[in-house]
Amino acid sequence: MIKTMILHQRYLVFVATGLISIAALAGAILYSPWLFLLVAVSGALFLLGLHDLHQHRHSILRNYPIVGHLRFVLESFRPEIRQYLIESDNDQVPFSREHRGLVYQRAKGVEDKRPFGTIENVYGSGYAWLTHSATPVSIADTDFRVRIGGPACRQPYNASLFNISAMSFGSLSANAILALNNGARKGGFAHDTGEGSISRYHRQGGGDLIYQVASGYFGCRNDDGSFSAEKFAELSADPQIKMIEIKLSQGAKPGHGGMLPASKISPEISEARGIPMGVDCISPAAHGTFSTPVGLMRFVGQLRELSGGKPVGFKLCIGHRREFMSMVKAMLKTGIVPDFIVVDGAEGGTGAAPVEFANRVGMPMLEGLTFVHNTLRGAGIRDQVRIGAAGKIVSAFDIARTLALGADWCNAARGFMFAIGCIQAQSCHTNCCPVGIATQDPVRQRAIDVGDKSDRVTRFHRNTMKALGEIAGAAGLSHPSDFMPYHFMFRQKDNEFLDGNEAYPYLPEGFLLADEEIPELADWYSRWDRANAESFAPPEIPHGPFQRRKAA
């Protein structure tokens, strides 16, 4: 008997609610009608338990009626439990408390210093540090700029070294877009629209825009979803748009398309994207306007002409390295060179993505940036193309290291989300963002005070640029663009570290086109030989061990 009770004790709460219901009902009839309240509560729980026992979706509820729901309740706020009670200051899930705290402090304009030394494991693998100078420099003007626009560009743009990365209206709320764009206007830096085109809230903010043209061609599409040159020309003439960015892929989910269900398409989203209400909105994985490297370059040239000569470039997360080399070969063949390339790292991305894509698809930013930078150097056109980079960039050190490895400027998405109040609840895809940023719920987004949050965006940018100026000065430099790999050290193992020139070297200008090959770069030549300006397809499918090319 006792053994049987122990084996079935998981049903104890269910049985107890039934007994309490019966007893309370008798008491309510015989003694006090107030006991009907207890009847209602215990009866509802008992009925829930009956449902649990007979449903077929959750095994845990069939075995643990009523009590099993606690598991789902606790799971629903597991990120908050971990963030507030368990994680340490440097646990990266995906951003550490230290990094988030830094953004919050700089956005609020409060003290951002910390006492008692670093909490980093300075002797652990992966640690990196800046080498400072015995003759530091004081930099007064920290409004750091880079001029974007190659020889074919008629309207170059002087961009800040730190800008807001692509986040669409639709994924972010109206108030979030307003706060970000107002902050960008007041701070004098740019705001990437993301693939959702330009909403009324971008226009209302008045800040400089980078208009992203993705595979759905939102804002510049025909009714069948194809690209409309006429609509693009009309939209891109807006003086608020400073640059045009063709999105090939993004760090969150490279090579993956998407769908916005009809139920989520509001009149405002329909207006911004140029899509009908009541129909699922498809974002294809690939562009329909081009399918070859040469086609991509011709599209770059077409958009540059249609926009009146504004800077045009493309954004991608590096996948097959040969494919990017094919793009560079297409630049050489057509003579059409993009004004800029934005390298998105696989560690980046505000968009919700399948776990496999978020964790295992695409090249991390540092390696992708170095590869793009050196391929352009090898082709002899690095001076014609500016490079932007994005991927978990929130601090001045992040920016300095990225500039040193080949970038001309940096973008950040999640960093600026933190500036307007993101708490990393990781509920962006649920439409239940607790702070009103990643939601279309009009009640939830009221939590964002646009005036206050836009000031925080401006302060975060200004204070980060000030910090960037301080560490550039500590390295003995007069401008952050002077950072080079040798200004940084990278620990490879617990007892070994490399100079930046060893870990992420700048390869010689024009080496891919030179008659005499460098033996140490045989892999680069082999990949370059396999690249084709006319096609992204590989020249042959390898079926055995990769055969490395032997240098001449």
Q: Which CA distances in Å does 364 have to 284, 401, 526?
A: 23, 14, 22
In a domain, 88, yes or no: no
- Identify the residue with better confidence: 246 or 71: 246
Range of the domain at 67: 1-73
* Same domain? 53 vs 159: no
Question: Is 60 exceeded by the pLDDT of residue 6?
Answer: no
**246 and 151 within one domain:** yes
Per-residue pLDDT tens for 406-432? 999 999 999 999 999 988 877 777 788
Residue 543 lies in a domain: no
User: What pLDDT is recorded for position 535?
Assistant: 96
pLDDT reported for residue 72: 80
What is the Cα–Cα distance from 149 to 152, expressed in whole angstroms? 8
How does pLDDT run across 487-512, given as a tens digit for each residue? Answer: 999 998 777 889 999 999 999 999 99
Least confident of 209-218, 324-333, 341-350, 402-411: 341-350
Q: Residue 80: is its pLDDT beyond 70?
A: no
Say if residue 217 is in the same domain as residue 332.
yes
Asked whether residue 50 is domain-assigned, the answer is yes
Give the integer Cα–Cα distance in Å for 191 and 188.
10
Residue 137 lies in a domain: no
Mean pLDDT of the chain: 90
Percent of the chain with pLDDT over 70: 92
Q: Kindly state the tokens that stand for 502.
A: 């060893």
| 25 and 155 in a common domain | no
pLDDT of residue 356: 77
285: pLDDT confidence band, cut at 50, 70 and 90? Answer: confident
Cβ proximity of 402 and 348 under 8 Å: no
pLDDT above 60 (res 350): yes
pLDDT for residue 467: 97
Residues 19, 159 share a domain: no
Strand (E) or helix (H) holding 148: strand 145-148
- The answer, yes or no, to whether residue 465 has pLDDT greater than 80, is yes
Q: What CA–CA distance (Å, rounded) separates 322 from 536?
A: 8
pTM over 0.75: yes
In the chain, % helix, strand, coil (3-state, to 5) comes to 45, 15, 45
Please name the residue ranges forming H helices in 315-354: 321-334
Q: What count of other Cβ atoms lies within 10 Å of the Cβ of residue 262?
A: 13
The pLDDT of residue 62 is above 60: yes
Q: What pLDDT sits at residue 282?
A: 79
Residue 69 in domain: yes
Per residue in 188-200, pLDDT (tens digit) is 999 999 999 999 9
Confidence of residue 2 (pLDDT cuts 50, 70, 90): low
The domain total for the chain is 2
Tell me the backbone φ, ψ of residue 276, rounded to 5 degrees.
-80, 155
Q: Mean pLDDT, to the nearest integer, of 453-471?
A: 97
Does one domain contain both 69 and 151? Answer: no
Are 56 and 166 in a shared domain?
no
pLDDT over 60 (residue 552)? no
Mapping DSSP to helix (H, G, I), strand (E, B) and coil, where does residue 139 land?
coil
For tokens 């084996």, name the residue. Answer: 7
Closest Cα partner for 100 from 331, 392, 370, 299? Answer: 392
Using alpha carbons, select from 406, 439, 394 the residue that is nearest to residue 507. 406
Place of tokens 């040469």: 294
Q: Which one has a higher pLDDT value, 72 or 499?
A: 499
* In contact, 211 and 205? CB cutoff 8 Å: no
Model confidence at 547, in pLDDT bands (50, 70, 90)? low
Residue 244 near residue 237 (C-beta atoms within 8 A): no
CB environment 307-330: b (16+ within 10 A), e (fewer):
beebbbbbbbbbbebbbbbbbbbb
Co-location of 304 and 181 in the same domain: yes
Q: pLDDT band at 11, cuts 50/70/90?
A: confident
Say what the pLDDT of residue 492 is: 85
Q: Report whether pLDDT(352) > 70.
A: no
∠ CA 492-522-379, rounded to 5°: 95
pLDDT value at 523 more than 70: yes
Bridge partners, 158 (sequence order): 147
pLDDT (0 to 100) of residue 256: 76
pLDDT in tens, 438-461: 888 888 898 999 999 999 999 999
Q: What is the per-residue pLDDT for 90?
A: 64
Nearest to 243 by CA among 340, 169, 168: 340
Q: How confident is the model at residue 355 (pLDDT cuts 50, 70, 90)?
A: confident
Residue 102 lies in a domain: no
Give which of 253, 153, 260 is closest to 197, Cα–Cα. Answer: 260
More confident residue, 119 or 185: 185
Q: pLDDT digit string (tens) for 217-232?
A: 999 999 999 999 999 9
What number is the average pLDDT over the span 505-531?
95
Least confident of 178-187, 438-447, 538-547: 538-547
Q: 169 and 292: one domain?
A: yes
The answer to whether the CB of 200 falls within 8 A of the CB of 266 is no
In this model, does residue 215 exceed pLDDT 90?
A: yes
Q: Is the pLDDT of residue 162 over 90?
A: yes
Q: For residue 1, is pLDDT > 70?
A: no
List of residues 6+ apart from 177 with CB closer than 8 A: 169, 199, 201, 202, 205
From 276, 260, 165, select the one nearest 221 (Cα to Cα). 276
Q: Encode 197-216: b = buried (16+ Cβ within 10 Å), e = exposed.
A: bbbebbeebebbbbbbbbbb
Q: At which of 430, 460, 477 does a domain end? A: 477
Task: Look at residue 247 in the predicted model and tell me its pLDDT.
Answer: 96
Residue 551 lies in a domain: no
Please say which residue of 56, 73, 90 terminates a domain: 73
Boundary residue ending a domain (432, 462, 477): 477
E strand spans, 262-418: 281-283, 312-316, 340-344, 386-390, 409-412
Residue 411 has φ and ψ, to the nearest 5°, of -120, 155
Q: Is residue 377 part of a domain?
A: yes
User: In this structure, are 69 and 174 located in the same domain?
Assistant: no
Lowest-pLDDT range of 94-108, 130-144, 343-357, 430-444: 343-357
At residue 112, the pLDDT reads 81
Do 52 and 152 lie in one domain? The reply is no
Residue 89 DSSP one-character state: T
pLDDT at 254 over 80: no
Backbone φ and ψ for 20, nearest 5 degrees, come out as -65, -40
Token pair recorded at residue 104: 């919050």
CA angle 319/323/329 to nearest 5° reads: 145
Q: Quick one: pLDDT at residue 47?
A: 94
Over residues 46-75, the mean pLDDT reads: 87
